[in-house]
Amino acid sequence: MSHRAMQLRLGLGAILAAVFLVTYAIPNWVSSPSNVRNIVLSPLFWPYILGGLTGVVGLGLAFAGWREAGGEAVNEAIPDPQAGAVRLVAFAVLMALTFWVMPVLGMVWTSMLAFVALAFLVKTRHPAAAVICAVVVPLILYAFFAHVASVAIPQGDLVRLP
């Protein structure tokens, strides 16, 4: 399959997923009380945002694929097929460890460690950015949900955030 065909298929798939989410899945499967005063705190707000962003990304992929000239095949033979199986098992172990460690360290610290571990498991090309994002994103999310939205974030037994 060429890069162009892959871009088009991924884009159309994302567009179809967004249409399904926005027209059927979110209205029928996400319930929201009618007395929510702040739109950002509504259970419907973020699913609609994610559905819309999925559609925008799909449009971008489809447009990029449509504009691109045909090219050579993207998929190459994998030199060591067992390496993928080892990574898959390592990812399953990482998920299990994440849920085992979360009650001890809390959601924020565990998310940081899991993000870094996953970044190095998939052999990221940008390790510095991965470490920075692993620290900054959970802290920003904690600050928003704990201090702005007043939602309790699970804290660990060892370290508590303010």
- Output the pLDDT for position 74: 63
- pLDDT range class, residue 142, cuts 50, 70, 90: very high
* Mean pLDDT along residues 20-34: 93
The conformation of residue 73, written as its DSSP 8-state character, comes to B
- pLDDT of residue 71 exceeding 70, the answer is no
Looking at every residue in the chain, the average pLDDT score rounds to 89
- pLDDT range class, residue 72, cuts 50, 70, 90: low
- pLDDT of residue 65 exceeding 70, the answer is yes
- How many whole angstroms separate alpha carbon 28 and alpha carbon 20? 11
- pLDDT of residue 75 exceeding 80, the answer is no
In this predicted model, what pLDDT tens digit does every residue of 97-116 receive, in sequence order? 999 999 999 999 999 999 99
Torsion of CA 81, 82, 88, 89, to 10 degrees: 170
Q: Where are the domains of the chain?
A: 3-67, 81-148
The beta-strand segments (E) located in the chain are: none
Crossing angle for the helix pair 127-143 and 107-121, to the nearest 10 degrees: 160
- Tell whether pTM > 0.85: no
- Output the pLDDT for position 134: 96
- pLDDT of residue 162 exceeding 90, the answer is no
